[in-house]
């Protein structure tokens, strides 16, 4: 009976106490995960920059030192230059600002110092030289260094009325002349000069000879009178 009791305690201890495990069983096998490749969005296509002068724009009011930006990236470009002139330019006189053979895209083309100019309207010209011709861009600007700046362009205002639908009043804006109208209204050439009438104070050849003869005769008479006086003094 005692042996049976001891055997029962031994079996109960084996069930309660933890069983030893091997080092291979104690180490967990690592699991490897395969990462799915991230979805790569296709690159957005760049919008090509507009060719020509991007700043300043037509009708802008400028003063001081003006930075002129633009794009000259033509496929067949061989060079470019930028200059300015008066809006009334009948003689086609242009004042150079910058030139290069480098293709630029939305970059500084030139800096224009307007402080030495009188206030007025001017034209900025960009010429791009191509293998088969010339591409030209013109921008009309208003230089205002010494006169008051123009008021900003009026905007659309809504005028409330008693009806449910408000009436829209559009304030007219300034209409800029086209390039063709600008050069068509150039200052006309000055009138031809009219010959002045002859000056009545100018002496003719005959009058000059007459006056010279009269002067010579007067001198001859003076010498004769002086000689007669000398003879009289010697005789006395």
pTM: 0.46
Sheet holding 61-62, edge to edge: 61-62, 133-143, 120-130, 77-86, 95-100
Domain count, the chain: 1
Tell me if 42 is assigned to some domain: no
- Encode pLDDT of 167-199 as tens digits: 555 555 566 666 666 656 656 556 666 666 666
Tell me if 188 is assigned to some domain: no
Give the per-residue pLDDT at 29. Answer: 46
Tell me if 138 is assigned to some domain: yes
Measured between alpha carbons, how far is 55 from 66 in angstroms, rounded to an integer?
Answer: 9
Tell me if 123 is assigned to some domain: yes
- CATH code for the domain in which residue 80 is found: 2.60.40.10
Tell me if 101 is assigned to some domain: yes
Among residues 60, 196, 215, 38, the alpha carbon closest in space to that of 141 is found at 60
Contact present, 80 and 129 (Cβ < 8 Å): yes
Contact present, 112 and 118 (Cβ < 8 Å): no
Contact present, 124 and 81 (Cβ < 8 Å): no
Measured between alpha carbons, how far is 158 from 30 in angstroms, rounded to an integer?
Answer: 73
- CB count within 10 Å of CB 197 equals 6
- Encode pLDDT of 118-170 as tens digits: 999 999 999 999 999 999 999 999 999 998 876 555 555 555 554 455 555 55
Vertex 53: Cα angle to 116 and 125 (nearest 5): 55
Q: What is the DSSP string of 156-195?
A: -EEE--SSSSPEEEPPPPPPPPPHHHHHHTPPPPPPPPPP
Contact present, 103 and 76 (Cβ < 8 Å): no
Tell me if 220 is assigned to some domain: no
- Domain residue limits at 97: 52-143
Tell me if 100 is assigned to some domain: yes
Tell me if 183 is assigned to some domain: no
Give the per-residue pLDDT at 222. Answer: 87
Measured between alpha carbons, how far is 228 from 236 in angstroms, rounded to an integer?
Answer: 13
């Amino acid at each position: 009976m005692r042996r049976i009791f001891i055997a029962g305690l031994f079996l109960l201890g084996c069930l309660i106490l933890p069983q030893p495990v091997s080092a291979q069983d104690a180490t967990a096998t690592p699991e490897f995960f395969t990462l799915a490749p991230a979805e790569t969005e296709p690159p957005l296509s760049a919008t090509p920059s507009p060719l020509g002068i991007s700043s300043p724009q037509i009708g802008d009011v400028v003063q001081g030192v003006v930075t002129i930006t633009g794009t000259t990236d033509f496929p067949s470009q061989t060079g470019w230059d930028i200059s300015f002139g008066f809006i009334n330019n009948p003689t086609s006189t242009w004042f150079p600002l910058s030139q290069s053979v480098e293709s630029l895209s939305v970059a500084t083309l030139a800096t224009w110092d307007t402080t030495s100019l009188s206030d007025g309207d001017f034209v900025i010209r960009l010429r791009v030289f191509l293998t088969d011709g010339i591409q030209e861009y013109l921008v009309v600007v208003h230089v205002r260094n010494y006169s008051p700046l123009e008021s900003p362009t009026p905007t659309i205002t809504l005028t409330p009325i008693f009806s449910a639908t408000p009436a829209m009043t559009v304030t007219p804006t300034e209409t800029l002349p086209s390039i063709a109208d600008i050069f068509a209204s150039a200052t006309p050439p000055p009138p031809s000069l009219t010959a002045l009438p002859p000056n009545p104070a100018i002496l003719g050849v005959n009058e000059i000879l007459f006056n010279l003869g009269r002067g010579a005769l007067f001198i001859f008479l003076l010498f004769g009178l002086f000689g007669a006086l000398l003879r009289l003094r010697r005789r006395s």
